[in-house]
């Protein structure tokens, strides 16, 4: 099993008792799965993804990634896991606006001590894979929203991650471009990458092999 959580909770300081964003999540995700996480605003979707993506730690409960208990690791250890095993695609793209596409995509490799020439070569290969082979030296400000999300996906893929965490990756895109991005995620999944998608869009969720629904920090379906 790739991911296992057991009675996962996340409580944020708020008032006397705090706010429970997650309230006892037990979940298993197999390697190569395409999972969609749905639910209303405030249901805990992004909190769950942040913990699975090692961007945050649970308050209690257990999180195993490839059999390793990562729930109680330090920030530095979590950063190493993110760099080696997890790629991210967010609604806001999170690109460096004045950097070229090559520079944006190679950013994760710079933390892995990959030589500069190899970094550029790998970035070019990944950008070709997402259909941006003619725009290596352009900046994100020169691209459409769909092209920027392709760059974000290329950056997510450059370290050959085990998992891609996609949090509302089409939220800023039109319908046709959204379908292009979802088709791309589907193809990546067919190639063996595990996809975890947070979405409120039922059409996007239909690309997944399994859908879970959260409400008030619990899995209700």
Whether CATH 3.30.43.10 fits 34-57+74-219:
no
pLDDT at 215: 95
Q: What is the pLDDT of residues 51-99, one digit of tens each?
A: 999 999 899 999 999 999 987 788 888 888 998 899 998 888 889 999 9
Task: Give the pair of three-digit tokens for residue 130.
Answer: 């997402």
Question: What's the pLDDT at 26?
Answer: 96
> For position 141, what pLDDT does the model report?
93
* Domain assignments of the chain as residue spans, ordered by start: 34-57+74-219
pLDDT at 115: 78
Predicted local distance difference test score (pLDDT) of residue 212: 96
Q: Which pLDDT belongs to residue 25? A: 95
Q: What is the pLDDT of residues 188-214, one digit of tens each?
A: 999 999 999 999 999 999 999 999 999
β-partners of residue 65 are 3, 68
Phi and psi angles of residue 193, each rounded to the nearest 5 degrees, phi first: -80, 135
Tell me, what's the pLDDT at 197?
A: 96
Q: How confident is the model at residue 60, as a pLDDT?
A: 93
pLDDT tens digit string along 136-192? 999 999 999 999 988 999 998 888 899 999 999 888 888 988 898 999 999 999 999
What pLDDT shows up at residue 161? 92
3-state secondary structure the chain: CCEEEEEEEEEECCCCCCEEEEEEEEEEECCCCEEEEECCCCCCHHHHHHHHCCCCCCCEEEEEECCEECCCCCHHHHHHHHHHHEEEEECCCCCCCCCCHHHHHHHHHHCCCCCHHHHHHHHHHHHHHCCCCCCCCCCHHHCCHHHHHHHHHHHHHCCCCCEEEEECCCCCCCHHHHHHHHHHHHHHHHCCCEEEEECCCHHHHCCCCEEEEEECCEECC
Q: Which pLDDT score, from 0 to 100, does residue 38 have?
A: 96
CA angle 33, 31, 3 (to 5 degrees): 100
Q: Going by DSSP bridges, is the β-strand pair 218-219/210-215 parallel, antiparallel, or unpaired?
A: antiparallel
- How do residues 88-142 score in pLDDT, each as one tens digit? 988 888 899 999 999 999 988 877 677 778 888 888 998 998 889 899 999 999 9
Read off the pLDDT of each residue in 13-27 and give the average, rounded to a whole number.
87
Q: pTM of the prediction?
A: 0.90
């Amino acid at each position: 099993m790739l991911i296992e959580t057991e009675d996962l909770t996340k409580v944020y300081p708020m008032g006397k008792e705090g706010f429970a964003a997650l309230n006892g999540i037990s979940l298993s995700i197999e390697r190569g799965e395409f999972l969609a996480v749905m639910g209303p605003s405030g249901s805990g979707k992004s909190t769950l993804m942040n913990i699975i993506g090692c961007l945050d730690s649970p308050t209690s409960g257990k999180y195993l990634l490839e059999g390793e208990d990562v729930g109680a690791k330090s920030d530095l250890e979590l950063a190493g896991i993110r760099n080696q095993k997890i790629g991210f695609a967010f609604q806001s793209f999170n690109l460096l606006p004045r950097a070229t596409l090559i520079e944006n995509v190679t950013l994760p490799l710079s933390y892995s001590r990959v030589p500069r020439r190899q970094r550029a070569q790998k970035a070019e290969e990944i950008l070709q894979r997402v259909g941006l082979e003619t725009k290596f030296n352009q900046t994100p400000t020169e691209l459409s929203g769909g092209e920027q999300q392709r760059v974000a996906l290329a950056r997510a893929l450059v370290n050959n991650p085990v998992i891609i965490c996609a949090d509302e990756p089409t939220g800023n895109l039109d319908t046709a471009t959204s379908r292009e991005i979802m088709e791309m995620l589907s193809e990546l999944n067919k190639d063996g990458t595990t996809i975890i998608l947070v979405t409120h869009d039922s059409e996007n969720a239909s690309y997944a092999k399994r859908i879970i629904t959260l409400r008030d920090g619990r899995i209700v379906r």
